Amino acid sequence: MIRLAGVYEHQPAIRRLASFCPLDPVAVDALGEAIAQRVRVRARREFVAEGAPVAGPGLIVNGWAARVRLLPDGRRQFLSFLLPGDMFGISDQPDPIAASTVMALTDVDHCRAPSARNSPSLARAYAVSRAFDEAYLLDHVTRLGRLNAYERMMSLLLELHERLRRVGLASENSFSLPLTQETLADALGLTPVHVNRTLKQARRNGDIIWQAGRATINNSALIAQQIGRRPVRVTQAARRA
Amino acid sequence: MIRLAGVYEHQPAIRRLASFCPLDPVAVDALGEAIAQRVRVRARREFVAEGAPVAGPGLIVNGWAARVRLLPDGRRQFLSFLLPGDMFGISDQPDPIAASTVMALTDVDHCRAPSARNSPSLARAYAVSRAFDEAYLLDHVTRLGRLNAYERMMSLLLELHERLRRVGLASENSFSLPLTQETLADALGLTPVHVNRTLKQARRNGDIIWQAGRATINNSALIAQQIGRRPVRVTQAARRA
DNA sequence: CGCGGCATTGAACATCCTCAATCCTCGTGG
DNA sequence: CCACGAGGATTGAGGATGTTCAATGCCGCG
């Protein structure tokens, strides 16, 4: 199909989809064009509202966002993080409504996801993308239901690292982590105070370093094994792009 | 399209799909035929194995099953319940592998889900079905992350009631609930002991009755409001079939 | 009658939460 | 250049929620 050239090589959205299925030129062009039309959302702004009609599928070009549920009494639960290259608002239905609010955690650039009608490879990449989203969501259910605070934290950090590596935004064992402890708490079903203590413990154990917005995981293979985590897989074929 | 006639009226799988989108005769026939080929799985048997290639999408004809994740140390988390009429193993991908194990909780009859290639209405019903599954899964994440034991319990019971009503397997405020407290515990991220105490409390409050495998929810509207639950919706159009 | 699976209960304990204070960092205005 | 203020991180003390361990009860079935 195509060996990603020039600018696209560093475009997370294209890189991620291409890692799922080699993209044909039609797809790459369509993605490049969509990305050129990206719009910016400020941190903390919500750009998809739960219950509202879905505008169509979107792509995160840059920055971090999250899908979130808000309870009437103010409690908040992050359902998943949306990293550069991730998709949101996909649906086969004719008149879908958003199943969750989507909120920018940092400044975010996003664009619409181009139709896959003229590109089988793109359609397939979308399908794999969706399968990954579902698999990570199931991991998250397990995380919240059956892991303790420490395990939840490490499990999430490992997931984020795994996903960022896929799009070239993480090194072997470290990555930019632009989240507050409060955000982490609302993702992990904990309080900010307890997140703080859990992180303190993790630092003391030498499992992680987190400073100046950058997280490092020491010995991730060992930690993954301790908490029973394996990399997410969704297809029988290739496990690495 | 078609007004469900005769035997199909009481066939949960058909009834559920038809509630999402009026089915054309081709779809009803295909479903009837698939259901005729159903196979039985004994309680406690696993009939989809996590990580194994997916055989193709399936339909629950009868009985209760659940998607489950097993941790290496024996901990268990149920990801979702599969009720009569529910689907499992759907994927757009060419070579998908199962994202989770599926286990029969009671004796279960299931069949393959017929291809939607020759029926636009069936394709649409599948799409809506999938949207519901996703929405309920997001609810479950919120349940585990941000609700306490009592809220989790009531929230799950309300969900089950809502879903069983859709397929005609629940009355106004009661339904058959063939689960053990241990199963409930593994769905709610609690211990069996605490599930028992939570149920005791709920009975004492007069919120539920649960005996001989049948659960009754008193005043479900009030309870739903107290725990901030609203019926799940996934489409702009019709809210009831 | 006795066994197996599930439900129920008590007591002690661990994990995580709440409340509240303090600290730190960084950007802004004087 | 420094004081100030705001948002986030950190810590302590006490308490609530849920767990663990172990015993007992219940009920259907062979």
Over residues B81-90, the mean pLDDT reads: 97
Residue B96 contacts strand D, CB under 7 A: no
CA angle B20, B84, B68 (to 5 degrees): 105
Strands A76-82 and A87-88, bridge-based pairing: unpaired
Sites in chain A below the pLDDT cut of 70: 1-7, 237-241
Token couple for B38 = 């159903």
Nearest protein residue, CA measured to C1' of C8: B196
| Whole-number Å distance between alpha carbons of A102 and A70 | 11
pLDDT digits (tens, 9 = 90+) for B182-195: 999 999 999 999 99
Residue of chain A minimizing CA distance to B184: A145
pLDDT digits (tens, 9 = 90+) for B7-39: 677 899 999 999 999 999 999 999 999 999 999
| Whole-number Å distance between alpha carbons of B93 and B90 | 9
| Whole-number Å distance between alpha carbons of A200 and A216 | 14
pLDDT digits (tens, 9 = 90+) for B139-181: 999 999 999 999 999 999 999 999 999 999 999 999 999 999 9
Residue of chain B minimizing CA distance to A187: B145
Instruction: Mark B23-35 as b/e (b = at least 16 C-beta within 10 Å).
Output: bbebbbebbeebb
Distance A43 CA to C28 C1' (A): 20
Over residues B39-58, the mean pLDDT reads: 95
Q: Which of B17, B75, B97, B141 to mutate to test the interface with A (most CBs of A within 10 A)?
A: B141
Instruction: Determine the pLDDT at residue B14.
Output: 97
Whole-number percent of chain B with pLDDT over 90: 90
| A129, burial (CB in 10 Å: exposed 0-12, middle 13-18, buried 19+) | buried
Instruction: Determine the pLDDT at residue A239.
Output: 46
Instruction: Determine the pLDDT at residue B7.
Output: 61
Measure Cα distances from B43 to B34, B62, B144 in Å. 22, 12, 26
Q: What is the mean pLDDT of chain A?
A: 94
Distance B197 CA to D18 C1' (A): 10
- Contact predicate A162/A85, CB 8 Å: no
Cα torsion angle, B232, A60, A119, A159, sign: negative
Instruction: Determine the pLDDT at residue B240.
Output: 45
Instruction: Determine the pLDDT at residue B241.
Output: 41
Question: Which of chain B's residues have a Cβ under 8 Å away from the Cβ of A73?
Answer: 228
Contacts of B211 (CB under 8 A, 6+ apart): none
Instruction: Determine the pLDDT at residue A241.
Output: 41
Question: Where do the DSSP E strands lie in A85-204?
Answer: 87-88, 101-104, 108-112, 174-176
Residues 150-179 of chain B: which lie with beta carbon within 7 Å of strand D? 150
* Residue of A97, A138, A228 lying closest to B236 (CB–CB): A97
Over residues B198-205, the mean pLDDT reads: 97
Q: What would the DSSP string read from start to end of A210-234?
A: EETTEEEETTHHHHHHHTT------
| Whole-number Å distance between alpha carbons of A220 and A218 | 6
Instruction: Determine the pLDDT at residue B238.
Output: 54
Where would I find the H helices in A21-67?
Answer: 25-36
Instruction: Determine the pLDDT at residue A206.
Output: 97
Which pTM value belongs to this model? Answer: 0.95
* Positions of strand C less than 7 angstroms from a protein CB: 5-11, 15-20
Beta bridge partners of A211: A214
Residue of chain B minimizing CA distance to A92: B127
Instruction: Determine the pLDDT at residue A8.
Output: 72
* Residue of A77, A97, A236 lying closest to B233 (CB–CB): A97
Nucleotide nearest to B210 (CA to C1'): C7
Instruction: Determine the pLDDT at residue A7.
Output: 61
